[in-house]
Amino acid sequence: MGDTSVENNRNKEKKILCLHGFRTSGSFLKNQLSKWDLPTASVFSDFHLVYFFTLFKWEFLDGFFPAGGKSEIEGYFPPPYFEWFQHENDFTVYFNLEECITRLCDYITSNGPFYGAKFKTPSICEIAYKEPIKVKSVHCIGAKDWLKVPSEKLASAFEDPLIINHPYGHTVPRLDEEAVKKIRDWIADVSEADSHVGNGVLNENNSAIEKAEETLKECDLREEESK
């Protein structure tokens, strides 16, 4: 007889939390990811579609604040648009960042555990980690992306990141055959490793929340020191 807890873990729906970029929306990110399921180059072609979406549940969360200005996707994708926090033009002063982190932690605690996260804005999570993150990750980094350097910095925070370089800007790219194979292999590895995970993902979620709380305390301390 097999291990019942392992079997239940294998059959349980896995959640992936998807967080959109600046002044866009969860619906826009979902639309962008549809580029990865084309007949000519599908990330998911080796997986039975029903099985894949049974294995993974994608949650596309909207930012907690309505867009406070013009969105770069106006005229291309319909509103409403959202943002996670606000900042000065030189990115030296941030507003509502602590509230954003707190609300994200609450959401993860209430709706998790999550087996992965998809970020369009590197700065939303890069400051929360000082030690290498051991979970598997994929990072799409564009040669013309104005966030290329922070995206590379974020990827370096992970222990063994899969980096997909592409020639475009700040977008979810269309993938060539080589990139499709890499991501399909990555998905297969995640699916295979899941039978050995047990409560590891839940522990990783709790660890991430603890680190976020430490970051909030550090932000408060720096704010006090700057006064």
What pLDDT is recorded for position 219?
Answer: 55
Number of domains in the chain: 1
Whether the per-residue pLDDT at 187 is higher than 60: the answer is yes
What pLDDT is recorded for position 32?
Answer: 86
Whether the per-residue pLDDT at 54 is higher than 60: the answer is no
Q: Which domain holds residue 48?
A: 4-226
Whether the per-residue pLDDT at 126 is higher than 60: the answer is no
pLDDT band at 91 (very low <50, low <70, confident <90, very high): confident
Q: How far is Cα 94 from Cα 44, in angstroms, rounded to an integer?
A: 38
CA distances from 60 to 19, 47, 80, 128, 135 (A): 6, 22, 14, 21, 20
Q: How far is Cα 171 from Cα 37, in angstroms, rounded to an integer?
A: 16
What pLDDT is recorded for position 84?
Answer: 94
- pTM of the full predicted structure? 0.65
Residue 213 host element (H or E): helix 200-226
pLDDT band at 90 (very low <50, low <70, confident <90, very high): confident
pLDDT band at 216 (very low <50, low <70, confident <90, very high): low
Which are the contacts of 190, defined by CB distance < 8 A and separation ≥ 6? 115, 116, 136
On average, the pLDDT of the chain sits at 75
Q: How far is Cα 13 from Cα 182, in angstroms, rounded to an integer?
A: 23
Q: At what angle do helices 97-111 and 200-226 cross, to 10 degrees?
A: 160
pLDDT band at 166 (very low <50, low <70, confident <90, very high): very high
**Domain at 206, CATH number:** 3.40.50
What pLDDT is recorded for position 26?
Answer: 92
